[in-house]
Structure 1
């Protein structure tokens, strides 16, 4: 006993200035009517002519410049982290990919906040000795991005 399955047919209603609705099929009429539908056509000229035109130079100083009225968030005394609340706020309000890159991406944020993205935070973390400076994290990322021996110290699990 053979079972035959029928594939479902997609029906898309089109109405062009009083013309009858037509389903998307391979008939000559639907080819012509779908040519007038911008949702069914691929643009003849791409928006970007090459991937080189989408490369943007990022100035870290500009990406992390305080917005007017938020300067206080960029000055923290005895900060054990490489980043201030102002730096981290640049990631959120408004969201800024340039700020994310200027902070060193995920690895830079991991090192600047002295944490481990694999293990996360631990309840055993009771102290955070020493400090990490923004320049130390930036220099570390430029020299050896995958070398953990050059990373700033991690939290003490005492």
Structure 2
């Protein structure tokens, strides 16, 4: 099953260095039966975009957690890298978690590099909007209209697609 795993730049570095990654709570997002039921229309490609957007929003929370963690390897030149990251991977039989949300799944094992299909990452131009969204993502989730507006600015930026073999070079350029 194709899953979308929220990540940070630090997590991508770990994946490249170690060849595997232990996603937070092994949480990922996918086109699940519950997600299909939640939408009255939409093909697999449109539903996959919904799942990826959920992973991108979760990436904001991971970035926020990294800001609080002084050991975050996503820090470059003294500043946190404010770029959402999503790893698209093909994994065997993840556990569906409709009790958490329609698109949520849990991986049964750590993610291996050979399961990664692609990586999606914000471009440099999104960093300001992402930085602002990190500060308000929780408020947006509970319906704060001003926070939703700020979050929308970040979500207007489309994540760039990178092939797996490009990942080490991409990270070297950050």
- Shorter-normalised TM range: under 0.3
Structure with greater Cα Rg: 1
More strand by share: 2
What is the TM-score normalised by the length of structure 2?
0.24
What is the TM-score normalised by the length of structure 1?
0.26
More helix by share: 2
